[in-house]
Amino acid sequence: MKYNNEIHKRRTFAIISHPDAGKTTLTEKFLLFGGAIQTAGAVKSNKIKKHATSDFMEIERQRGISVATSVMSFEYKNILINLLDTPGHKDFAEDTYRTLTAVDSVILVVDSVNGVEDQTRRLMEVCRMRDTPVIVFINKMDRDGKNRFDLLEEIENELKISLHPMTWPINSGKDFKGVYNLHDKNLLLFTANTKANDDDTVAISDLSLPVLDEKVGEKDASILREDAELIEGVYGELPVNDYLSGKVAPVFFGSAINNFGVREMLDTFIRIAPVPRPRHTSVRDVPPTEDKFSGFIFKIHANLDPKHRDRIAFLRVCSGKFERNKYFHHVRLDKDVRFSNPYTFMARDKDVIEEAFAGDVVGLFDTGNFKIGDTLTEGENFFFTGIPSFSPEIFKEVINKDPMKTKQLEKGLLQLTDEGVAQLFTQFGGNKKIIGCVGDLQFEVIQYRLLQEYGASCEFRALPYYKACWITSADPKKLDEFTRFKSNNIATDKDGHLVYLAQSEWFLNTERTNNPDIEFHFTSEIHKEAV
């Protein structure tokens, strides 16, 4: 309990959304409010004039999309906020799913023009699996979009979560005049092409006062009074406990690009968002108030700074105190490790830290000791559970275009696949390298990074596989027999575990029926328990 004060000062959350909903822009506005940056990078029509702070990979700057999770820490009103900006692109959903295991709450950005989209649904399913508290920010209110009541109904129906409006918009598109804060009883006025500031806020404790008519006009004042009365009658006060248990999501309206409606959400966030929460392990639940340190690796990034060829493992601290130069127990490798230069992040900028507490995200310089899901403790043997891994859906053979750079290619493949965005398989009995991904864009990113960061040139040739299954058996003889007979479809993963590559669902079902002694697993987690 001795770290209680530190724990209660921390909020760790992720921003999630469909691509182009304005997630990275919102991230930057948070950083501006926290004083972490002075100017925001504008991302316009995929041509980046001044690259977004949280998009630090070259390919992200070129294409205007986030394909890796960025970690940023900043202070706002004496609260230390750890913000994780996730990839919006669906091909990098796996990175986002893993990031959601490292946070205590999320802010979901919804585009008021397009409403709920596919990626939004998928991400909310993961949040619901974990009962993660969600705040919804409905963005782009200065564009002509859907009716506000229709939008709320769509979000409730599609995402299966109850909403609770905290602010309410006055019109939208070119007629957008601002938002009324239902909790703080004040009006924030919107002026097109200007950034919101404190002078635009008018305190209106009672909507019947004539000042409302003066500010927004009689017609809009009348509509706002009706809407506010209806909302008050239906929703009442925000049930904070229902928010914390993931049943109710507070809703804010605004325009991130104009810095509008963002501060209201941030103020509410630090007031109601959960402090670091207990975490499940293979042995017991670990409360954040426990004195002994524990944490897990949820992301690995090679070449964060291409000049220094560094490889950083991102650690979520779950309990106790992480200390620089102190020895901690690496559970999977069963050895003690220490870190002389642990970092906190402001996107690409790194600061060496002396200590970190539950809720913090720390960057650890890694020479190849870590894999995603690895646990560090002060001696106890357990694994943090619930970090998802997926069987790939697209498989391609790696064709080396420059045999002189074979070593660089192999090193690059190993390091990039350690990051978890793709899986590397080697054909059984041969050396054909196969990359498995859940989306095509990942191949493009891997190809680009191999060339830019390792000087290795390659192509990918599509392979006719449907799914990768890890295979085990209680009878080693049967497993050996199966791998010999099916050698064309057998590969090993990076850890030497056997994998069956099925051409179709029919082939997979046939092999499972014909080989009752062989177990087919759709995740590699099975081997973690055995380590």
Return d(Cα 218, Cα 144) in angstroms, integer: 22
Q: Collapse the DSSP code of 111 into the 3-class scheme (helix H, G, I; strand E, B; otherwise coil) and give the result.
A: strand
* Placement of tokens 């809703």 in the chain: 251
Would you tell me how many other CB atoms lie within 10 Å of the CB of residue 12? 26
Give the strands of the sheet with 467-473, arranged side by side. Answer: 458-462, 394-400, 433-437, 423-427, 490-492, 498-502, 467-473, 518-521
The whole-number pLDDT of residue 45 equals 33
With a CB cutoff of 8 Å and minimum separation 6, the contacts of 87 are 65, 66, 67, 68, 69, 93, 95, 96
Return d(Cα 392, Cα 193) in angstroms, integer: 45
Given this structure, which CATH class describes domain 4-173+236-272? alpha beta
**pLDDT by residue, tens only, the chain of 531 residues:** 678 899 999 999 998 888 788 888 888 888 888 775 555 443 333 333 334 544 445 544 554 443 344 778 888 999 999 988 776 545 455 667 778 889 999 999 999 989 998 778 878 887 887 889 999 999 999 898 888 999 999 999 999 999 999 999 998 888 888 898 888 888 888 876 655 555 567 778 788 888 888 888 889 889 999 998 999 888 888 999 999 999 999 999 999 888 888 888 999 999 999 999 999 999 999 999 999 999 999 888 765 455 545 678 889 999 999 999 999 999 999 999 999 988 876 544 567 889 999 999 998 888 778 888 899 999 999 999 877 666 788 899 999 999 999 999 998 898 888 777 788 999 987 889 999 987 777 788 889 889 988 899 999 999 999 999 999 999 999 999 999 999 999 999 888 889 999 999 999 999 999 999 999 987 765 445 443
458 - beta bridge partners?
Answer: 400
The whole-number pLDDT of residue 257 equals 87
The whole-number pLDDT of residue 55 equals 47
Nearest to 487 by CA among 432, 412, 420, 411: 432
Tokens of 355: 């200590």
The whole-number pLDDT of residue 193 equals 60
Nearest to 342 by CA among 326, 358, 330, 331: 326
On the question of a common fold for 279-377 and 394-530, the answer reads no
Nearest to 54 by CA among 68, 74, 70: 70
Tell me the domain boundaries of the chain.
4-173+236-272, 279-377, 394-530
* Placement of tokens 């002075």 in the chain: 38
- Identify the CATH number of the domain defined by range 394-530: 3.30.70.3280
Question: Does the domain spanning 279-377 belong to CATH 3.40.50.970?
Answer: no
